[in-house]
Amino acid sequence: MDIKMEVAVFGGGCFWCTEAIFQELRGVISVTSGYAGGSMEAPHYEAVSSGSTGHAEVIKIEFDPQIISYRDLLEVFFSTHDPTTLNRQGANVGTQYRSLIFYTSDEQKIIAGKYIQELADTKIFDHGIITELKPLEQFYTAEEHHQDYYAKNTEAPYCQIVINPKLEKLREKHSKLLKE
What is the Cα–Cα distance from 62 to 42, expressed in whole angstroms? 21
Q: Catalytic residue at 17? A: no
Cα–Cα nearest to 17, from 141, 164, 143:
164
- Asked if 23 and 151 count as a contact pair (C-beta separation under 8 A), the reply is yes
Question: What is the number of alpha carbons within 13 Å of residue 68 lying toward its C-beta?
Answer: 28
Q: Are strands 99-103 and 132-135 parallel, antiparallel or unpaired?
A: parallel
Write down the catalytic residue from 7, 8, 9, 14: 14
Which residues lie closer than 8 Å to 121 by C-beta, 6 or more apart? none
Give CA 49 to chain center in angstroms: 17
Cα–Cα nearest to 130, from 32, 56, 44, 73:
56
Catalytic residues: 14
